[in-house]
Chains A and B, each alone.
Chain A
Amino acid sequence: MSKVLVFTEFQNGNLKRSSQELLQFAATTGKPVVALALGSQAKTGAAQLAHHGAQEVLLCADTAYDAYNPELFSVAAAEAIQQAGASLVLASASSSGKDLFPRVAAKIGAGVVSDGTEITVSGDDVKVKKPMYAGKCFATAQFENAATKIVLMRANQLPVAAADTSKTATITEHAFTKPSLKTLIKEVVKGASEKLDLTEANVVVSGGRGLKEAANFSMLNDLASVLGATVGASRAVVDAGWVGHSMQVGQTGKTVAPTLYIAVGISGAIQHLAGMSGSKVIVAINNDPNAPIFQKATYGIVGDAFEIVPKLTEEFKKILAH
């Protein structure tokens, strides 16, 4: 039977939640599940792959794979797909997943669908629901003329059960071909925050021009640290230079899908709504009762952010303490 290959990612030695989601989903398809794990973290983390549903692990612990390099990784992924005889490949729509797999698809003549939010697999038939126009609508992608189907799923879309530590997998160490590289990773500069990226965060607290000035983002940072949230922003404040553009949520920023999105002093322009309206619960805090953000919000507070946010932070502190 044709296999499912899951491209897995680790962070600080732990299998990322997005990879757990994919492995557990792959196990539900009834097809044999092969995990591809590259880099030195993969060696220490290999057992985790089995605990989440991998039956086979294709492992290459070579430190050359510790930093993502599209040329190096695309050759390894293409070889792994061929070696496993995988007809379905699952990866996260993370920054490396999205960069890598289109290149792999072009290399091996596969189809690739990026940013899936739902996937159904029935025999050889694979259907992927995905947002288009930054979430203003959805479409179902289907493959044709593709012996290998590659699906990049957005994080937090599939359920994760607890790891089953009794499960084991066959681990095969493998060296993939190293092409002569025209791409050199010179340095990886750590981000300011150790928080989850906006696209993976379960709680997002975003600020807009209603915060009046850059310094007032500290108020949001306080709220976010109590909630374990990642801080986002509207384009207006990114353009004003208050925060970096990696924090922008919206049609020309990041599309987020957290369980809870709190929008503070954001009017709710169509381009902003496009990026966040897939959030499960939306809280809007705005002093203008007619702000369009209230049309998308689940709960609305009409009021002054400077009064509401500190109170909210205090109250969350109290209830989350026990």
Chain B
Amino acid sequence: MKIFVCLKQVPDTETKIKIAADGSGIDTAGIKWVMNPYDEHAVEEAVKFKEKNAGAQVFAITSGPKARAVEALRTALAMGADEAIVINSPENLDAYSTAKALAQAITAEGGAHLIFAGKLSIDANQSSVPQMVAEFLNIPHTSVVSKTEYTAENVTVERDVEGGAKEVVQMVNPSLIAANKGLNMPRYASLPGIMKAKKKVIKEVEFSSLGIAGTEQKVKYAGFSLPPEKPAVKLLTGDAASQVSQLITALRDEAKVL
């Protein structure tokens, strides 16, 4: 039983973003890269599933520039994934062609019983790849999942929606689950796990070998810019009562938000 986890290597959440001089992207010099935080939950869920289901095998898969993307796969292997596949892809592929590549590679491996992914990658901010992978594979999906329950044929999940509401969704497997933060507590990779992961061979697939046409790139990002500088804070003065009344006046008469 093959379980796939789609994941991505992204800039660490601490990163201060700088823009490349020509505005074509961010300046990646000196960036520390980490596994996308939501994908950690996806890996954890896959490994937990494997621990409870004898015969399940976890494949971590990513699409991205190989040198950097394999690091996320090493982390997944150290957390307990069995195999790893990197689709060596150009920088800044869009969600559509990324999803197509992932779906094709998963099919080439014989398909999946379950696929896990994070609900969003914190760099492109798109929340698109998991849903697209599901569509390309013609399987059901649920995104923003914070609870799961498995049987042989089905998985029942809870999906977080607006205002703290939850949808309880049952899917026939094979299915795809895109993880939200509350799903589980990702484990830390153990030292033996890290040592073992270093020795594993990561299977490489060239994006160019997948026959995905240039026309399957649908969206391009340009004109990167930083948010406008905020004027310096206005610190209110005096005792609590006076600070509060200054604030109310400012919100009403100056900022005009009341």
Q: Write the residues of chain A forming the contact surface with B, with a CB cutoff of 8 angstroms.
A: 67-68, 70-71, 74, 94-96, 98-100, 102-103, 105-107, 109-115, 130-146, 182-197, 199-200, 244-248, 251-253, 255, 259-260, 270-271, 274, 277-278, 280-284, 289, 294-304, 307-308, 311-312, 315-316, 319-320
Q: Could you list 19 examples of A-B contacts with CB < 8 Å?
A: A103-B131, A106-B96, A112-B128, A113-B126, A141-B219, A145-B214, A182-B171, A183-B171, A186-B168, A187-B167, A188-B167, A191-B165, A246-B163, A255-B125, A280-B255, A281-B257, A284-B233, A299-B234, A307-B240
Contact with A along B38-75 (1 / 0, CB 8 A): 10000000000000000000000000000000000000
Once the chains bind, are A133 and B233 in contact (CB under 8 Å)? no
The one of A247, A282, A319 in contact with B258, judged by C-beta atoms closer than 8 angstroms, is: A319
* Dominant secondary structure at the B interface: mixed
| A245 → chain B closest CB, angstroms | 4
Complex contacts, A190 vs chain B, CB 8 Å: 165
Instruction: Report Cα–Cα, A281/B162, bound state, in Å.
Output: 23
Instruction: Report Cα–Cα, A165/B182, bound state, in Å.
Output: 44
Complex contacts, B252 vs chain A, CB 8 Å: 319
Given contacts A99-B131, A307-B240, contact A132 B123 (CB under 8 A): yes
B199 at the interface (CB under 8 A from A): no
Complex contacts, B258 vs chain A, CB 8 Å: 319-320
Instruction: Report Cα–Cα, A63/B227, bound state, in Å.
Output: 43
Closest A residue to B123 by CB, please name it: A133
The one of B166, B214, B244, B250 in contact with A312, judged by C-beta atoms closer than 8 angstroms, is: B244
The one of A132, A193, A200, A281 in contact with B221, judged by C-beta atoms closer than 8 angstroms, is: A132
Complex contacts, A251 vs chain B, CB 8 Å: 13, 122
Top 5 closest A-B pairs, CB basis?
Answer: A191-B164, A111-B218, A102-B128, A197-B162, A106-B135
Given contacts A107-B135, A281-B255, contact A143 B123 (CB under 8 A): no
Complex contacts, B216 vs chain A, CB 8 Å: 145
Closest B residue to A311 by CB, please name it: B244
